[in-house]
């Protein structure tokens, strides 16, 4: 995942202030010292960068003009940045952000650890990994050659994502011209958007914003077909979460058209789901269920950003509308404070995008009360994971907890944007929400036969 930036255009009179999100990374098994209650997968991910590249977290803070993780987290959560944060121009910002990737992929040397005779230079093929000399690059080639081509896509997407941030790339939207039951995957979704999709992308490719983006970056602009493909990948990355929620509603045979509307909880939500969110980001979920009588999507987690919390006052659901709101809490605490008291309705579906409990005892300890709550209250639940390995590990944990597994497998609405492991660039990239697991109650719980027959493919 590229460093993500605030989704608003910078004012010319003020410094550019980017928002950085750490991409998928191996989670540390050692609990970090956290300044706020509850474990944070964001904090674990940031701190674990140093496991593979000692000093990388400090390099990132330095390049972003920050003194500590607390300052970093303040910005991640949508708080007011410290006075030193921000850059005077887009050129400086892009350079500084690219500098956070500068370490030798083979020997892990950071810029300040190099001798005077060495300088970090990127691979000319992918422009996405760095080496301190030709010897390191030659030694690393057997590993790097396996991922070099896909990492070139990562490097392009990392730049192109800025257009989403600034609002210069607005995704095509509107009611689906085909019956929702016929939209099974990205190929069929691309087909229904047809000319609208092509018109949108052509307009972006010929825009002044695109020209200025590559001019500020200071490197050659790729060919149109490369940029075209990048825009399509970015679309799937934005829309993967709402359409995956729709897949869960379909597969678990949940009536999206029920009186009073449906409530969906996104559990363990972090800044990835909440900081950059806009009111229209979940419109595709509504188009997937055109007869719905209102959908309330509630993000719950210790890393929910401040801007989403400002929209947390529940309002009556109107037919055909989608509400987005957030609560900063562990889910089992949120349940006691909001659900059991009757302040909010019971969820029709609970989803967790990349909960990570398979990777860390710290996260598993935090997730256990929530998993048991979901099981014992028989709440239809769906989680997503990055890889087949994570799928198998997560399934084993859920089976050990006596969960009744309804469905699992490859997600037809996975993001098509490759995600690079920040501190281990030659690790095979992954794709957000590549696999899903759906469960309902304990293993003794059985779905009604009619529900099973209604399951979407």
Residue 321 belongs to domain with CATH number: 3.40.50.150
Name which of 67-81, 188-202, 212-226, 277-291 the model is least confident about: 67-81
Mean pLDDT of 212-223: 90
pLDDT surpassing 50 at residue 362:
yes
Give a yes or no: residue 1 inside a domain: no
Q: Which residue in this structure is represented by tokens 């609405």?
A: 413
Question: Per the confidence metrics, is the pTM higher than 0.95?
Answer: no
Among candidate residues 162, 159, 168, the one with its CA nearest the CA of residue 206: 168
Q: Is residue 65 assigned to a domain?
A: yes
Task: Using DSSP bridges, classify how beta strands 418-419 and 381-385 pair: parallel, antiparallel or unpaired.
Answer: unpaired
Q: Which two tokens stand for residue 164?
A: 């989403």
Tokens read off for 252: 């678990």
* 372-381 tens-digit pLDDT: 999 999 999 9
- pLDDT at 210 (0 to 100): 95
Flag whether pLDDT at 312 surpasses 60: no
Tally the residues of the chain.
457
- Residue 325 pairs with which residues in a beta bridge? 298
The residue out of 148, 166, 184 marking a domain boundary is 166
Same domain, 398 and 292: yes
What per-residue confidence (pLDDT) applies to 311? 55
Please tell me whether residues 309 and 394 are part of one structural domain.
yes
What are the tens digits of pLDDT across the range 43-72? Answer: 767 777 778 888 888 888 888 777 777 777
C-alpha distances out from residue 244 to 49, 183, 273, 327, Å? 29, 12, 13, 21
Domain boundary among 151, 166, 181: 166
Question: Is 442 part of a structural domain of the chain?
Answer: yes
Structural domain for 83, as ranges: 41-166
Number of domains in the chain: 2
pLDDT at residue 348, rounded to an integer: 97
228 inside domain: no
Tell whether the model's pLDDT for residue 26 goes beyond 60. no
């Amino acid at each position: 995942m590229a460093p993500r930036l605030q989704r608003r255009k910078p004012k010319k009179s003020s410094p550019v202030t980017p928002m950085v999100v750490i991409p998928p990374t191996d989670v540390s098994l050692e609990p970090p010292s956290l300044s706020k209650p509850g474990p944070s997968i964001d904090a674990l991910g940031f701190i674990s960068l140093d496991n593979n590249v000692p000093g990388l977290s400090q390099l990132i803070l330095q390049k972003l003009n920050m003194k500590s993780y607390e300052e970093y987290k303040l910005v991640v959560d949508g708080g007011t940045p410290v006075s030193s944060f921000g850059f005077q121009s887009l050129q400086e910002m892009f350079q500084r952000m690219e500098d956070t990737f500068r370490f030798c992929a083979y020997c892990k040397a950071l810029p300040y650890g190099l001798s005077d005779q060495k300088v970090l230079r990127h691979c000319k093929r992918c422009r996405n990994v760095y080496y301190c000399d030709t010897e390191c690059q030659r030694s690393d080639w057997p590993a790097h050659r396996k991922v070099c081509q896909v990492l070139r896509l990562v490097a392009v997407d990392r730049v192109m994502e800025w257009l989403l941030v600034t609002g210069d790339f607005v995704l095509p939207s509107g009611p689906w011209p085909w019956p929702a039951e016929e939209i099974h995957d990205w190929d069929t979704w691309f087909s229904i958007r047809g000319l609208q999709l092509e018109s949108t992308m052509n307009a972006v490719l010929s825009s002044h914003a695109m020209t200025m983006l590559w001019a500020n970056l200071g490197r050659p602009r790729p060919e149109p077909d490369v940029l075209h493909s990048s825009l399509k990948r970015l679309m799937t990355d934005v829309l993967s979460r709402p359409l995956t929620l729709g897949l869960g509603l379909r597969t678990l045979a949940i009536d999206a058209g029920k009186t009073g509307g449906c409530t969906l909880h996104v559990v363990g939500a972090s800044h990835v789901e909440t900081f950059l969110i806009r009111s229209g980001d979940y419109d595709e979920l509504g188009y997937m269920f055109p007869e719905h009588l209102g959908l309330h999507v509630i993000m719950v987690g210790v890393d929910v950003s401040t801007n989403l919390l400002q929209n947390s006052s529940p309002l009556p659901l109107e037919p055909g509308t989608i509400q987005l709101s957030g609560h900063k809490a562990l889910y089992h605490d949120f349940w006691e404070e909001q659900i059991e008291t009757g302040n909010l309705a019971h969820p029709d579906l609970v989803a967790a995008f990349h909960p990570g409990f398979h990777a860390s005892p710290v996260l598993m300890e935090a997730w256990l009360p929530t998993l048991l709550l979901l099981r014992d209250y028989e709440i239809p639940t769906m989680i997503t994971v990055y890889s087949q390995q994570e799928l198998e590990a997560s399934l084993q944990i859920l089976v050990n907890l006596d969960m009744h597994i309804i469905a699992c497998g490859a997600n037809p609405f996975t993001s098509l944007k490759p995600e690079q492991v920040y501190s281990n660039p030659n690790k095979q990239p992954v794709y957000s929400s590549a696999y899903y697991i759906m469960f309902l109650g304990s293993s003794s719980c059985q779905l009604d036969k009619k529900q099973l027959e209604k399951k979407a493919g």
